[in-house]
Chains A and B, each alone.
Chain A
Amino acid sequence: MRTSTEHRRRAGDLPVAMVFLLPAAVGFAVFYLWPTLRTMYLSLTDYSLLAPPEWVGAGNYERLLGDRLFWNSLKVTVEYVVINIGVQTVVALGMAVLMHRLTRSGLIRGVLLLPYLVANVVVALIWYTMLDAQLGIVNQALEWIGLDPVAFFGETSTAIPTIALVNVWRHMGYTALLIFAGLQAIPKTVYEAAATDGASEARMFWRITLPLLRPALALVLVLTIIGSFQIFDTVAVTTKGGPINATRVIYYYIYEQAFQRFNFGYAAAVCVALFAILATLALLQLKLLRAGDSDLD
């Protein structure tokens, strides 16, 4: 597909290109680059938010290594991400394939997206109310079929899985739509050829859909995993980090350190640690999943 003219762009295009790039570049510098650099600087200071920062060098990072709650928050966050992404990807892939192979209905596609259109906080609060151990409708239903009520958000063992699944419910339609877009890039002719050869739906899924979907899936995974690591709002409106430290996910820990305990410098150090983890993870994923290459070439 690539032609040699692509490599020999005329220098005359440069000013025009700059005009088109400028708005995005300014936005990137102001909203991403500058805050990132400032966070990195603040992570080397003792900064109580309401007084000027004081330089402490690597002090915050030393403290980080010995902070039991930081490691706990990482563990809890990873547990959340594994459940959230694991379930969500499988469900979304199934939904996308069904949309792709079974229906052309715009209405159904729209309905699948509905939970995503409801604000995160509202979704969290509604589920929080529905899952209440004594008054929640879900536990009423459990009681009718003869099961004991479960304090979904209240038990240390079920709190994180509950939050992870609530967010699966909200995001699965959106993720399915992203995967669906990837599916549409697979040429119909491949399926027609397979059908002529007498391949079953299951075989087509494993041999055609999944391999050809790999680049799209890789991108979806990178995006959703990074998003998943940033779980905050559901925790903030429901469990607030508890019971004990069961849902003190890393972003909630950062928020607590920064805005409730005024340890802004330390919170910035946790931010930078999270940044390093996510950067490594994203690069690793893209490398392993060869997101840049398509098997269609």
Chain B
Amino acid sequence: MRRITRLAAVATILPLALAGCGSGESGDGGGSGAAPSAEKIEISYWLWDSNQLPAYQACADAFQAANPNISVKISQFGWGDYWTSLTTNLVSGNAPDVFTNHLNYYPEFAGKQQILPLDEFVAADGTKTDAYAPGLADLWVSADGKRYGLPKDFDTIAIFYNKKMLADAGITEDQMKSLTWNPKDGGSYEKIIARLTVDKNGKRGDEPGFDKKNVEVYGLGLDENNGAGVGQQMWSMYALSTGWQFTDKNPWGTKFQYNDPRFQDTIAWWRGLIDKGYMPSLAIARSGTSVNDGFGAGKYALSTNGSWMINTYYGYDGVEVGTAPTPVGPSGKRATIYNGLADSIYAGTKHKDQAWQWVKYLASADCQKTVGDKAVVFPAIPEALTIAEQKFAAKGVDISAFTVQIHENTTSLFPITDHAGDVAAIMSPAMDAVLSFEAEPSSLSKANDEVNALFQ
């Protein structure tokens, strides 16, 4: 009797371990017939950036006023939850009709037929795909030539600096605009990073007697996120300024180039800053707060980050913030990743036509001007960008450090490839190991082999 009870108890407890693993069911894709026009149709729309929610709610309000038969229900999730929720909802067939998509994720979704190609709609409505800042629309055309999104915004990388620390160090804002960098000695960029670093005794990083073990303010912050194989706001602007590229071709490259000496020398220089005491160790960066909060608390004088973070950096109380473009590298040019978002339609949507109407509106000058007016991101349509530029200026933010690279044509596309999830899973621990000095930069060649094996 007791033996049986005991076994039953074990049998009850154990499946707990498995219950989380087996709930995946393939969605049936749902119907796709056009719904009757008299009824009011609700379209669900997801985005991840809470800063942008009011702007898109304003777009939705205008859209609903113009299309009384369609209502838009917006849901917002944090970046991390967003992709998990989206994936599980795609699997269970409950994904939103329209959602904000990212270049890192859409190839996977397109390849698995989870999002609709927009070509038919675009052709039928004669929608212009050349209304956007150069190059943005091309990002959303997959390897087989189909379009999976219409651009809504773009982002680039720049340096945020603490104005007071700059003044204390005797560095002018003009100096910040003409920085140069190379992987050997770091150029004038490393000199100002050293100058801006201050130890507990008040000695600066470029002064004799500087104590690198007890640093009060680091010249340059280190991101709490692992940039994995992209390093968008971490190291890509240095590596790309050497002339190096992520892949053999972009988009849709099939060979990564992490074995290139230009890339490995860049990483060696970058982690060298930790050794010199100019940048916090990986352990410190990962121990709790974000790089932007560290900047806001006065622990970092400079911090490289994306244009989507502008309002966060300028929002810290008592910190006067300025921005400068990333330094000019050995290629004689600056560099930044040029990334853009777009809206995609879920392949299983029951309201294809209404979803398209909404996507078309999101990509229109009308909506993008509304978004530009809120000054949260850079809209993809140039005339809407002009509005954003003025509104940012009214808030005391000069966005030219971000846009100069577009005018000077020094941007590089975000690496768009298949297997992005696998590449990140391989590169993330490999980069960690190098940054924490447990492996040499040359070990990245081995990671590169692993990455390239994915494409065989």
Whether A and B are associated in the same complex: the answer reads yes
Q: Interface of A with B (CB < 8 Å)?
A: 28, 31-39, 42, 47-52, 128-136, 151-156, 219, 222-223, 226, 229-230, 239-245, 248, 251, 254, 256, 258-262, 264, 267-268, 271-272, 274-275, 278-279, 282-283, 286, 291-293
Assess whether B17 is interfacial by the CB under 8 Å rule: yes
- Interface of chain B, main secondary structure: helix
Q: How far is the CA of A244 from the CA of B436 in the complex (A)?
A: 8
Contact between chains at B22 and A275 (CB < 8 Å): no
Q: Is the CB of A286 within 8 A of B6?
A: yes
Judge whether A154 and B285 touch: CB under 8 Å.
Answer: yes
- Indicate with 1 or 0, residue by residue over B288-312, a CB within 8 angstroms of chain A CB atoms: 1100011001010000000000000
Bound CA–CA A260/B379 (angstroms): 29
Q: Choose from B14, B24, B287, B288 the contact partner of A49 (Cβ within 8 Å).
A: B24
Give min CB distance, A44 to chain B, whole Å: 13
Shortest beta-carbon distance from A1 to chain B in Å: 12
**Which residue of the partner chain A has the closest CB to B6?**
A292
CA distance A156 to B438 in the complex (A): 10
Nearest-neighbour CB distance to chain A for B113, whole angstroms, equals 8
Bound state CA distance, A267 and B21, in angstroms? 8
A232 to B22, CA, bound (A): 17
Chain A residue contacts of B433, Cβ below 8 A: 244
Looking at chain A's contact residues, the main secondary structure is helix
B287-A136 in contact (CB<8A): yes
CB of A259 within 8 A of CB of B288, answer: no
Give 1 or 0 for each of B404-421: 1 = CB within 8 Å of chain A CB: 000000000000000001
Whole-angstrom distance between the Cβ of B194 and the nearest chain A Cβ: 20
Contact: B283 with A155, CB < 8 Å?
Answer: yes
The residue in chain A whose Cβ has the minimal distance to the Cβ of B297 is A135
Closest 9 CB pairs of A and B: A132-B288, A35-B22, A154-B283, A32-B15, A39-B22, A154-B287, A50-B112, A151-B283, A271-B21
Q: Return chain B residues, CB-CB under 8 Å to A136.
A: 287-289
B288 near A131 (CB under 8 angstroms)? yes
Q: Which of B83-91, B150-158, B257-265, B334-342 contacts A (4 or more CB under 8 A)?
A: B83-91
Number of interchain pairs (Cβ within 8 Å): 172
Given contacts A128-B288, A129-B289, A133-B287, contact A259 B6 (CB under 8 A): no
Question: Considering residues A38, A151, A291, which has the most beta carbons from chain B within 10 angstroms of its beta carbon?
Answer: A151
New contact pairs (19) apart from A32-B12, A35-B22, A261-B421, CB-CB < 8 Å: A31-B19, A32-B16, A33-B15, A35-B15, A50-B113, A133-B280, A133-B283, A151-B286, A153-B286, A154-B287, A226-B13, A241-B429, A242-B286, A243-B432, A245-B429, A248-B429, A258-B24, A260-B425, A261-B422
Cα A229 to Cα B18 in complex, Å, equals 12
Known: A31-B19, A51-B112. A282 touches B425 (CB 8 A): no
Contact of B114 with A by CB under 8 A? yes
Q: A282 contacts which chain B residues (CB < 8 A)? A: 10, 13-14
- Can you sample 29 A-B contacts with CB below 8 Å? A28-B12, A31-B19, A42-B22, A48-B112, A50-B109, A50-B114, A51-B112, A133-B287, A135-B294, A135-B299, A136-B287, A151-B284, A154-B282, A154-B283, A154-B286, A222-B10, A230-B17, A230-B20, A242-B432, A243-B432, A244-B432, A261-B422, A261-B425, A264-B24, A271-B17, A271-B21, A279-B10, A292-B2, A292-B5
Number of interface residues of B (CB under 8 A): 55
Across the interface, which residues of B come within 8 angstroms of A240, CB to CB? 226
Nearest to A156 among chain B residues (CB) is B436
